[in-house]
């Protein structure tokens, strides 16, 4: 007779079943079994719930009915796994992960089935039994982690920099003996001419040729042990020329992050900045020199104005004396040649002083362009009438050719000054007449021109034009001509008596720039010289 205090064999078996059931419930595991001779599946309530069935359903069903709860994309994989499990030669545990779609709640679940196969003595498959576990949460977390990794990789690949993360490899004594590449981006793959998968988990030696050669491990180890960032800029010769690269190494999460960037544009910007700063300093120095030069010009102008004022006073006294002497000449008497010479020289000296003051104002920038509607035909006709008396003194005739009326937008005062100085200069150096003055509109209708030409000139005129009008740098106007030095050989003459003509031509030079004109010097077929001034029809046009 058994002692009531001693548990029976049945009680122990019952306790073991209770403990097993509690453990399975606590782990969320379902128990299943497939009878391979009848194709019937027996499963508990927890396993039924993994297929979206309630507890009221039967604890057994046929395989064909159960397979309906498997995701369509996984049915073939389930079939192949069961076929392999029924092969006694495989001798390995049954392990399959697939998706189920709940028969009642239509919920998708990831289920892992593990178990083993049982065979008869003759090797015939009898049954397959095991447990089922809902791993939907783990799979979702894994998929989310994969998506995060993909997003992170996309961010890394979008960077213009080379980016990589290397982890140290330790030996048995804890010493760092190597670094392996854990993460990198597409830029590094392109630079290494390998795929990201080929580079991942490879030794740092794969990067040594683009880093510091034999010094690479030492630099990586220094950053890992000290925590101090490492940065270096270095040039490299490429098929496209010299390129500059920056390389930085920082410690992070028990490893090192290595980044590299092509900083050639930045280096070029720095070079341009330094060049700009140098040019700015030169500009400051040039500006200071220019201001000093302008001060000298202004001082010279003041001196010239003061001297001109005194000279004008003296000339006025001489004019008065000449006038008094002329009063004593009887009406029928001829004015003495000496007195006529004095009067002419005084008049020329007064004109020189006027020209000198005009040049000073132009040089100091006091003259401004004052455009208005002008009938240049009327203006030039008046100029021709004014110079005829001067030309007759040398026995020269003057002709004028042009439209009777030509309205343009121009500066009448400065046009008059250009024409007067050019005409008087040509008259002085002309040896044979007539002088031909012409004007008209260019065919393109954007410019008009006037000219003065002679038949034969003193070579001194060519020399004067060559010296005074060939260098117009710094002015909007341009001088269009054949090379004066080749077309008109420089005469071996002195410049005696040319100061007045030089001032007149320098006034022309300044006014040509002020009026945005073009100046041409041409050799005429008859041996004479033709001076042409072209000016805009209008100063309001955007092209002017």
Q: Per-residue pLDDT tens for 400-427?
A: 999 999 999 988 888 888 888 888 888 8
Please give the average per-residue pLDDT across 315-326, as a whole number: 59
Residue 20 has pLDDT above 70, yes or no: no
Instruction: Round to whole Å and give the CA distance between 219 and 458.
Output: 84
Specify the CATH number for 157-262; select among 3.30.420.40, 3.30.450.20, 3.20.20.70, 2.70.98.10.
Answer: 3.30.450.20
Write down the pLDDT at residue 330.
57
Write down the pLDDT at residue 483.
35
Backbone angles phi, psi at 498, to 5 degrees: -100, 0
Write down the pLDDT at residue 361.
58
Same CATH fold, 370-536 and 13-134? no
Please give the average per-residue pLDDT across 436-449, as a whole number: 88
The hierarchical CATH code for the domain 13-134 is 3.30.450.20
> Which of 1-5, 26-30, 345-349, 479-483 is the most confident on average?
26-30
Which residues touch 516 (CB under 8 Å, ≥6 apart)?
A: 369, 476, 477, 535, 536, 539, 544
Q: Select the more confidently predicted residue: 493 or 514.
A: 514
Provide the 8-state DSSP code for 334.
Answer: P
Write down the pLDDT at residue 476.
37
Residue 72 has pLDDT above 80, yes or no: yes
Residue 37 has pLDDT above 90, yes or no: no
Residue 365 has pLDDT above 90, yes or no: no
Tokens (6 digits) for 177:
């003996």
Please state the domain extents for the chain: 13-134, 157-262, 268-359, 370-536
Burial environment of residue 320 by CB neighbours within 10 A (0 to 12, 13 to 18, 19 or more):
exposed
Label residue 220 by pLDDT band (50, 70, 90).
Answer: very high
pLDDT in tens, 452-498: 988 766 566 556 665 555 544 333 334 443 333 333 333 344 444 44
Q: Select the more confidently predicted residue: 306 or 472.
A: 306
> Which of 306-310, 434-438, 540-544 is the most confident on average?
434-438
Please give the average per-residue pLDDT across 381-408, as a whole number: 88
Write down the pLDDT at residue 449.
92
CA distances to 169, 209, 232, 437 from 212, in Å: 20, 7, 10, 81
CATH architecture of the domain 370-536 equals 2-Layer Sandwich (3.30)
């Amino acid at each position: 007779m058994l002692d009531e205090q001693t548990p029976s064999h049945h009680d122990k078996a019952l306790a073991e079943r209770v403990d097993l059931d509690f453990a399975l419930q606590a782990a969320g595991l379902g128990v299943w079994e497939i009878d391979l001779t009848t194709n019937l599946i027996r499963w508990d309530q927890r396993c039924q719930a993994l297929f979206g069935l309630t507890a009221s359903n039967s604890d057994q069903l046929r395989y064909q009915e159960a397979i309906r709860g498997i995701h369509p994309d996984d049915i073939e994989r389930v079939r192949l796994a069961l076929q392999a499990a029924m092969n006694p030669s495989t001798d390995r545990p049954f392990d399959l992960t697939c998706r189920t779609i709940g028969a009642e709640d239509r919920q998708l679940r990831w289920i892992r089935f593990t178990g083993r196969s049982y065979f008869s003595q003759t090797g015939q498959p009898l049954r397959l039994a095991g447990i089922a576990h809902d791993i939907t949460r783990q799979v979702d977390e894994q998929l989310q982690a994969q998506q995060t990794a993909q997003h992170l990789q996309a961010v890394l690949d979008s960077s213009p920099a080379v980016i990589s993360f290397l982890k140290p490899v330790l030996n048995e004594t804890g010493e760092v003996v190597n670094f392996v590449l854990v993460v990198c981006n597409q830029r590094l793959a392109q630079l290494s001419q390998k795929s990201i998968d080929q580079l991942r988990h490879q030794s740092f030696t794969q990067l040594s040729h683009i880093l510091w050669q034999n010094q690479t491990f030492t630099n990586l180890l220094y950053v890992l042990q000290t925590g101090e960032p490492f940065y270096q800029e270095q040039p490299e010769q490429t098929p496209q020329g010299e390129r500059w690269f920056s390389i930085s190494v920082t410690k992070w999460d028990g490893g090192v992050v290595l980044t590299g960037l092509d900083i050639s544009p930045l280096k070029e910007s720095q070079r341009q900045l330094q060049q700009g700063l140098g040019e700015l300093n030169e500009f400051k120095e040039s500006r200071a020199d220019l201001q000093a030069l302008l001060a000298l010009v202004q001082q010279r102008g003041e001196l010239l104005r003061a001297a001109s004022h005194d000279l004008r006073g003296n000339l006025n006294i001489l004019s008065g004396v000449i006038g008094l002497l002329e009063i004593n000449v009887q009406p029928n008497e001829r004015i003495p040649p000496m007195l006529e010479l004095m009067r002419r020289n005084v008049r020329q000296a007064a004109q020189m002083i006027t020209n000198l003051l005009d040049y000073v104002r132009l040089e100091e920038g006091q003259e401004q362009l004052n455009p208005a509607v002008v009938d240049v035909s009327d203006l030039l006709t008046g100029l021709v009438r004014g110079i005829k008396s001067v030309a007759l003194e040398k026995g020269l005739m003057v002709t004028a050719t042009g439209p009777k009326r030509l309205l343009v937008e121009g500066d009448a005062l400065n046009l008059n000054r250009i024409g007067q100085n050019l005409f008087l200069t040509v008259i002085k150096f002309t040896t044979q007449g007539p002088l031909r003055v012409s004007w008209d509109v260019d065919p393109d209708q954007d410019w008009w021109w006037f000219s003065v030409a002679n038949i034969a000139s003193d070579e001194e005129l060519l020399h004067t034009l060559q010296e005074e009008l060939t260098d117009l740098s710094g002015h909007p106007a341009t001088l269009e001509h054949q090379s004066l030095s080749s077309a008109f050989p420089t005469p071996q003459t002195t410049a005696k008596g040319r100061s007045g003509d030089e001032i007149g031509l320098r006034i022309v030079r300044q006014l040509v720039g002020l009026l945005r004109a073009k100046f041409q010097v041409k050799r005429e077929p008859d041996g004479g010289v033709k001076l042409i001034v072209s000016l805009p029809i209008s100063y309001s046009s955007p092209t002017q």
